[in-house]
Structure 1
């Protein structure tokens, strides 16, 4: 059946393409040459390539990052120029128009050039500049992107992952300005950072608890090493298909770490990983826990499935198996995403696709999945128009 008109779709995983002046408008003058800026590289007989240049390194856009409005036959991995994208990719006012076309009330957007959780800045040589770049991005999100449509665009901020104390400061600074969530690597150890089993992250997790902001772990945010076992000659389709296994590994790390016992209020969002695999992982984790907890340094009183129900939620674009098994997962643990402007998105038919996916789901449960769970998990008020801080 159609989704009821009073159900407002909230996407917990969309993406924005940073416009060329995000950092040039916000960095101190002495850093602008080294800071992120767009450059043009001429090509014989073809349009020039537009790339981000940062500390002398070039980062071209990838076609799959901005394909909204194109047919699958037109997808590719070639660099894309701004004038080849629809404006909703980088213009927040145009994004709202595209959301209205798609029947979407609100959306939380991950970064593009800095990667899903800001790892471009983690790799930077000048960490003072990198910290300024992180703050500049967050100010752009809070003061420009989300402020363009309070209540429609949900503020998601990044952290200086290389410095827990600075990360804590940034959590509190951005929370005071209206941030609602934190983008965080799904597999930190794959980036050369301490894993979630390490107490390195304790100050960061405590700050997330204190501010009520979930950690959002987009699959693939752990970088290339997270899928390093792939055959070197495998087609790109193999990587795309297996990206969800990153979310499976991230979930298992959390469930067997001591972190969730030390941080009882921590909330974790798994972005774009789907939900159909969750029943299997929880069953497997509980079976492992029952048989192997007595000789390992893991909690011996709380089964992993109980921790999942308290701390973790997943989201889906299309996952018919997951929807059919929603009661095993827990209806309260499932949210919905659009993924605009990436290739998994159904824009401009996202609401129609959601209706198809939830056709056999009772209204009460469908309402939770497309709207109410996101409001609860991300502290989004139902009775107030403002989800984001405005400037001034």
Structure 2
């Protein structure tokens, strides 16, 4: 496959999956605990027996919101391609291979790295059932991607609360050649400095399979006691700042010592932007040199970053200006298709504008070569 542009961050959202996927494939004892579709006041919607709300079938974004024209500019642009109208007709452009590839072509992209349904595993509020749900999704994803393996690079979804189950599922997926693991990220999960994660760091080191943590932001605030106007202000604050929460994860993982202990461990921070990272790297270096050299880091934190870490972004002109601090080998672009904060189907316009001052070699790395190398793609 000849690659010109690879999106290192695309999505498969639960609400765009076949409506009977989980109920049809779960063991009899688990069927009623699986996500399923029911009729709702605004149309078919995904739910669970414990009252989880995953959103409208083929709805907008990972939460399956209703598309309302004129509210979100990028959603209007996506809607202009017929994405949501097709969804209402039962045409699942995210999860039907031919349609997915056509949407790649529309955006000037030859391949995507696919993040999945991990946020749904927490919303299910049923840890035992969530493990079954993720296993079913990973099986579906494997079959989906093998229809176009050079263009669809699926990340197996791994739970974050039962390390024995996490390693078992990671091992199962590794045996059939998965190119990356997406670890469930949620506000209440065990911090990355905790020894709880040690088996996973070792697994990543031993196999060379990259581990991914996709941004989700912090815990959503309770807005019910506020007026609609104040709710909008709260929502604006939450949405604008959600990527910054990944700084705590980066610092926790770095100071856990895992990158030093496991030099073949590769970590991808998904959709968290770039501009904040140089400051955090500089400040970790400062604190390590000043008072934390007793930790088992043999190099500056920033040196481990350059050796083992990657960040994906969709649009970040400030971050690109700081590329010499980030490292051109550590950045991968992604469109975030089909989320409303993404830039599909206008990616080429954004890339052309934001990478104008970047060297041709660095541009190739950001838009293609780093992903080819990390995911071992044939180019």
Corresponding residue for 2:215? 219
Spell out, residue by residue over 1:254-282, the C-alpha distance to the aligned partner (whole angstroms, 9 max, x if none): 22222222222111111111111221111
| Selected match of 1:60 from 55, 64, 69 | 55
SS in 1 for 2:348: helix
The alignment's TM-score, normalised by the length of structure 1, stands at 0.82
Give CA deviations for 1:128-155 in whole Å, capped at 9, x if unaligned. Answer: x332222111001101x21232211102
How many angstroms does 1:371 deviate by?
Answer: 0.5
The match for 2:256 is 257
* Cα distance in 1, alignment partners of residues 292 and 255 from structure 2: 10
What residue is the counterpart of 2:8 in the other structure?
12
Which residue in the other structure is 1:133 paired with? 133
| In structure 2, distance between residues paired with 1:184 and 1:213 | 12
Q: For CA contacts below 8 A with separation 6 or more, give which structure has more relative contact order.
A: 1
Name structure 1 gaps, 5 residues minimum: 1-5, 226-230, 383-392
Q: Deviations over 1:339-366 (max 9, x none)?
A: 0101122222112211211122221111
Q: TM-score, normalised by structure 2?
A: 0.84
SS in 1 for 2:48: strand
- How far has the Cα of 1:24 moved from its partner? 2.3
Whole-Å separation in 1 of the counterparts to 2:139 and 2:219:
25
Q: What secondary structure does 2:47 align onto?
A: strand
The residue number in structure 1 matching 2:192 is 196
SS at 1:332 equivalent:
coil
Counterpart of 1:208 in 2: which secondary structure?
Answer: helix
Task: Quote the residue 2:20 is aligned against.
Answer: 21
SS of the residue corresponding to residue 296 of structure 2 reads: coil
Counterpart CA distance in 2 for 1:55 and 1:261 is 42
Q: Does 1:119 find its partner at 2:114?
A: no
The answer to whether structure 1 residue 162 and structure 2 residue 161 are counterparts is yes
Q: Describe how 1:33-44 pairs up with structure 2 within 5 A.
A: 33-41=32-40, 43=41
CA apart distance, 1:223 = 5.2
| CA separation of 1:87 and 1:64: change in aligned 2, threshold 3 A | same
Cα displacement string for residues 43-87 of structure 1 (whole angstroms, at most 9, x for unaligned residues): 3xxx435223254533324634469997734859xxx89417873
Report how many aligned residue pairs link the two structures. 354
Aligned to 1:98: 103
User: Quick one: structure 1 residues 215 and 84, their matched pair in 2 at CA, closer, same or farther if it must change by over 3 Å?
Assistant: farther
Asked if 2 retains the 8 angstrom alpha-carbon contact of 1:142 and 1:178, the reply is no
Q: CA deviation at 1:102?
A: 0.6
Unaligned ranges ≥5, structure 2: 77-83, 222-229
Cα distance in 2, alignment partners of residues 85 and 306 from structure 1? 49
Q: Aligned in 2, Cα 1:320/1:343: closer, same or farther, shift over 3 Å?
A: same
Partner of 2:342: 345
Contact residue 155 and residue 178 of structure 1 kept, 8 A: no
